[in-house]
């Protein structure tokens, strides 16, 4: 089991090569075994609950002091510990010296020097861990000051004497710290608790500090003594290469231009040039011109039924293909992000942008997901994975989908062309609405109960810069890409099939496959029902409802649907060419020429639940069904409220007043209240 800070978010299991009976569990990278962050709780519950045979603690040799802090806590668990000091090549290159023999003697556990980068010593580390597991001998403990030891001895006797001997100390220390999670787990009697509290208070009084601080302080004092005995830093005051790089890239004047340039490059390569080309190639050429027609004609040739042909070629392959089309682009993007992450610039991005983003409940690291989402929401949502704070990450996932992505632009262009004479301000408004939705949602959400609780402070390690390592980058890129492909294979496949079935079958005149005919599909019927819901937003006709539903498959579908319903097959091309006449015909047909209805329709489609691919990404990143539905539900409700407010207050300017106007004002008032109310959940 290892500790690679910032790399693992969930625990992962694997078998050790050549030792098929050994299971390795990689736990989230953590700094401590405190009960406050999700990663720490996951790691801690595993260690305490499952009690693995041995712990392999990976320590960053270039940051020995801070890393040993976790080691001292792991040792207390009473599980055999082997410490592997990583990045030894860099330590040596810097001219620093770690006396591992002495450190091993003082800590009392086996220490292996490794370099994951150069694949040095990895096997030795694993073998040392196996040996430690076989011997089963826990590491001897370091002792705290007299007053603390006195209290711990009492706690061991009073509260945990019935636990196995080697586990007693860890529990006793946690009880001393008043760790709420452990106290709840042990469920001690009132009298015992009172008795223990006296012991803790006595130690606190003697050392003039609170119990938690006493323990943390004494650990670091102990580590400082270890450092003094075993570590020699070569250069004091001399700037390392990393320091020199940092001087330039986070320089007060140069930081922002460099940052803007780096982000422009990421955006340009992944979204603008190469990325855009791959999406076009995958969707239009590979799937659109080659695979789908080929499959369709092959199925035709073997005499496959029309409906089955349609289901396979258009429904399954077309639907999943529309999603898989984004894979190369995502891979390029993830590759670039992995490079930024691996060389250490990503945490500087957060450092630079934090001030802006935390104002609305996000963190500096939310910047990258938002930027990426302006191209495509799917990689944007997945890029949120680099945010360590659980709350910031969830908030970022929930709001990233509001940014108008590339696929939503045709909707914007269509509405602009159909109802506003192609005016450019419609697109500008779309971006403002998207960004505004992120900001408003951030402020509203951070005050809700779901995001309440003690905030984890934004204390972030800024790692040294180093040249990115190819193997790290490719692994990170592949893992992210693959998890998306798997998602496309399940959720998105199922959703595509359902939508196809609804869109291609009809009840009218007996249950049958529609094909090219124009009889009403099941989806049309559903559209008619749902249209009632959209009536208050100004677009209560079944065409707009169907377009919205099909927008869930892919947002660019929305325009295509209008096209085919208006008998203009290639509406998407018409929009691209700026053919105003036919767009205006469609605008008249579907929105009665009402600018307001069209605008309301656009807002709803920009803000409501994203496409299936993005929903899949949300599910993947939330890793929790409740949160996924909460996120999607929130987006739909928010979209509905904003559209309703805009539509009816807009109507009022035209002199139309109804009960809905009142509701619009109530909603607006509620929104303002949610924005400005006091945050009662902050300490």
59, 71, 108, 124, 379 from 97: Cα distances, Å: 15, 19, 20, 21, 42
Q: Which two tokens stand for residue 661?
A: 């106007």
Whether residue 558 contacts residue 610, with contact meaning beta carbons closer than 8 Å, is answered with no
Q: Is 131 helix (H, G, I), strand (E, B) or coil?
A: helix
Whole-angstrom distance, CA of residue 268 vs CA of residue 3 = 35
**Least distance (Å) from other proteins to the CB of residue 252?**
6
Nearer to other proteins, 316 or 456 (CB): 456
Instruction: Report the chain's terminal Cα–Cα distance, integer Å.
Output: 36
**Least distance (Å) from other proteins to the CB of residue 391?**
11
Q: Is the dihedral of CA 645, 650, 656, 657 positive or negative?
A: positive
**Least distance (Å) from other proteins to the CB of residue 11?**
20
Nearer to other proteins, 221 or 532 (CB): 221
**Least distance (Å) from other proteins to the CB of residue 298?**
58
Residue 59 CB coordination number (10 Å): 23
Cα Rg of the chain, angstroms: 30
Q: Is 498 helix (H, G, I), strand (E, B) or coil?
A: helix
**Least distance (Å) from other proteins to the CB of residue 462?**
4
**Least distance (Å) from other proteins to the CB of residue 212?**
6
What are residue 464's phi and psi, to 5 degrees?
Answer: -65, 150
Q: Is 110 helix (H, G, I), strand (E, B) or coil?
A: strand
Nearer to other proteins, 17 or 252 (CB): 252
Nearer to other proteins, 17 or 680 (CB): 680
What are the residues binding other proteins (CB under 8 A)?
A: 31-32, 34, 36-37, 62-66, 69, 209-210, 212-213, 216-217, 220-221, 233, 246, 250, 252, 255-256, 347, 350-356, 358, 454-464, 683
**Least distance (Å) from other proteins to the CB of residue 253?**
8
User: 115: which strand partners?
Assistant: 120
Question: Under 8 Å CB-to-CB from 127, ≥6 apart: which residues?
Answer: none
**Least distance (Å) from other proteins to the CB of residue 393?**
16
Whole-angstrom distance, CA of residue 368 vs CA of residue 263 = 8
Among candidates 439, 387, 397, 454, which has minimal Cα distance to 679? 454
Nearer to other proteins, 246 or 479 (CB): 246
Whole-angstrom distance, CA of residue 500 vs CA of residue 322 = 13
The b/e string for 428-458 (b: 16+ C-beta within 10 A; e otherwise) is: ebbeebbeebbbbbbbbbbbeebbeeebeee
**Least distance (Å) from other proteins to the CB of residue 347?**
7
Nearer to other proteins, 351 or 500 (CB): 351
Q: Which two tokens stand for residue 245?
A: 């790089």
Q: Which two tokens stand for residue 236?
A: 């004091």
Nearer to other proteins, 235 or 273 (CB): 235
**Least distance (Å) from other proteins to the CB of residue 453?**
8
CB-count burial class (<10 Å; 0-12, 13-18, 19+) for 321: buried
The structure tokens 């997901």 sit at 369
Nearer to other proteins, 353 or 493 (CB): 353
Whole-angstrom distance, CA of residue 155 vs CA of residue 491 = 51
Whether residue 235 contacts residue 95, with contact meaning beta carbons closer than 8 Å, is answered with yes
Whole-angstrom distance, CA of residue 665 vs CA of residue 682 = 29
User: 120: which strand partners?
Assistant: 115
**Least distance (Å) from other proteins to the CB of residue 142?**
16
**Least distance (Å) from other proteins to the CB of residue 188?**
21
Nearer to other proteins, 135 or 235 (CB): 235
Nearer to other proteins, 255 or 674 (CB): 255
Whole-angstrom distance, CA of residue 138 vs CA of residue 376 = 51
Nearer to other proteins, 51 or 359 (CB): 359
Q: Where are the alpha helices (DSSP H) in 208-317?
A: 211-230, 241-249, 255-267, 274-280, 292-301, 306-310
Nearer to other proteins, 62 or 594 (CB): 62
**Least distance (Å) from other proteins to the CB of residue 154?**
23
**Least distance (Å) from other proteins to the CB of residue 204?**
13
Nearer to other proteins, 19 or 233 (CB): 233
Nearer to other proteins, 197 or 289 (CB): 197
Q: What is the DSSP string of 628-682?
A: HHHHHHHHHHHHHHHHHHHHHHHHHHTT---HHHHHHHHHHHHHHHHHHS--TT-
């Amino acid at each position: 089991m290892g500790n690679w800070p910032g790399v693992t978010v969930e625990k992962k299991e694997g078998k050790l090569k050549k030792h098929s009976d050994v299971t390795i569990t990689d736990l989230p990278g953590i700094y401590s075994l405190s009960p406050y962050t999700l990663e720490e709780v996951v790691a801690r519950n595993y260690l305490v609950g499952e009690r693995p045979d041995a712990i392999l603690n990976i320590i960053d040799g270039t940051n020995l002091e801070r890393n040993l802090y976790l080691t001292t806590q792991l040792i207390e668990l009473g599980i055999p510990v082997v410490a592997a000091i990583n990045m030894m090549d860099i330590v040596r290159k810097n001219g620093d010296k770690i006396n591992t023999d002495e450190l091993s003697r003082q800590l009392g556990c086996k220490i292996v020097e490794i370099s994951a980068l150069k694949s040095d010593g990895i096997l030795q580390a694993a073998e040392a861990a196996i040996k430690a597991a076989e011997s089963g001998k826990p590491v001897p403990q370091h002792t705290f000051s007299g007053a603390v030891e006195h209290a711990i001895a009492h706690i061991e006797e009073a509260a945990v004497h019935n636990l196995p001997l080697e586990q007693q100390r860890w529990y006793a220390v946690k009880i001393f710290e008043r760790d709420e999670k452990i106290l709840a787990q042990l469920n001690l009697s009132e009298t015992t608790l009172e008795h223990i509290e006296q012991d803790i208070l006595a130690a606190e009084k003697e050392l003039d500090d609170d119990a938690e601080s006493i323990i943390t302080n004494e650990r670091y004092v102990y580590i400082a003594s270890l450092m003094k005995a075993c570590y020699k830093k070569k250069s004091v005051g001399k700037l390392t290469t990393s320091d020199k790089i940092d001087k330039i890239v986070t320089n007060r004047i140069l930081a922002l231009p460099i940052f803007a340039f780096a982000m422009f490059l990421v955006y340009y390569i992944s979204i603008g040039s190469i990325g855009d080309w791959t999406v076009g190639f995958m969707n239009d050429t590979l799937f659109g011109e080659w695979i789908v027609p080929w499959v369709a004609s092959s199925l035709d040739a073997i005499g496959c039924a029309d409906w089955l042909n349609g289901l396979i070629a258009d429904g399954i392959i077309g639907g999943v293909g529309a999603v898989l089309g984004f894979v190369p682009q995502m891979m390029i993007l993830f590759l670039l992000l992995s490079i930024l992450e691996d060389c250490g610039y990503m945490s500087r991005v957060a450092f630079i942008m934090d001030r802006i983003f935390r104002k609305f409940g996000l963190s500096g690291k939310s910047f990258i997901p938002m930027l990426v989402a302006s191209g495509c929401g799917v990689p944007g949502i997945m890029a949120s994975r680099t945010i360590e704070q659980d709350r910031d990450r969830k908030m970022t996932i929930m709001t990233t989908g509001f940014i108008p992505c590339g696929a939503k632009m045709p909707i914007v262009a269509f509405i602009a062309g159909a109802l506003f004479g192609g005016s450019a301000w419609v697109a500008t408004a779309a971006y403002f609405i998207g960004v505004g939705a992120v900001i408003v949602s951030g402020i509203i959400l951070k005050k809700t109960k779901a995001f309440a609780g003690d905030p984890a402070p934004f204390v972030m390690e800024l790692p040294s810069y180093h040249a990115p390592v190819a193997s790290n980058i490719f692994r990170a890129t592949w893992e992210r890409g693959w998890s998306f492909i798997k998602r496309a294979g399940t959720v998105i496949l199922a959703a595509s099939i359902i939508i196809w079935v609804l869109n291609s079958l009809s009840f009218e005149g007996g249950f049958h496959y529609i094909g090219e005919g124009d009889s009403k599909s099941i989806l049309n019927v559903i559209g008619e029902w749902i249209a009632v819901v959209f009536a208050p937003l100004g677009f209560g006709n079944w065409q707009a409802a169907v377009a919205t539903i099909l927008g869930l498959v892919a947002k660019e579908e929305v325009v295509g649907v209008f096209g085919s319903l208006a008998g203009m097959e290639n509406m998407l091309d018409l929009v691209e060419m700026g053919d105003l006449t036919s767009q205006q015909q469609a605008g008249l047909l579907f929105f009665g020429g009402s600018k307001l209805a069209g605008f309301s329709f656009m807002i709803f489609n920009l803000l409501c639940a994203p496409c299936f691919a993005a929903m899949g990404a949300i599910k993947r990143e939330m890793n929790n069904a409740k949160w996924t539905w909460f996120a999607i539900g929130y987006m739909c409700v928010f979209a509905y409220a904003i559209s309703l407010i805009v539509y009816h207050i807009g109507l009022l300017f035209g002199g139309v007043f109804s009960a809905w106007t009142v509701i619009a004002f109530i909603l607006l008032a509620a929104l303002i209240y949610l924005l400005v109310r006091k945050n009662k959940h902050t300490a």
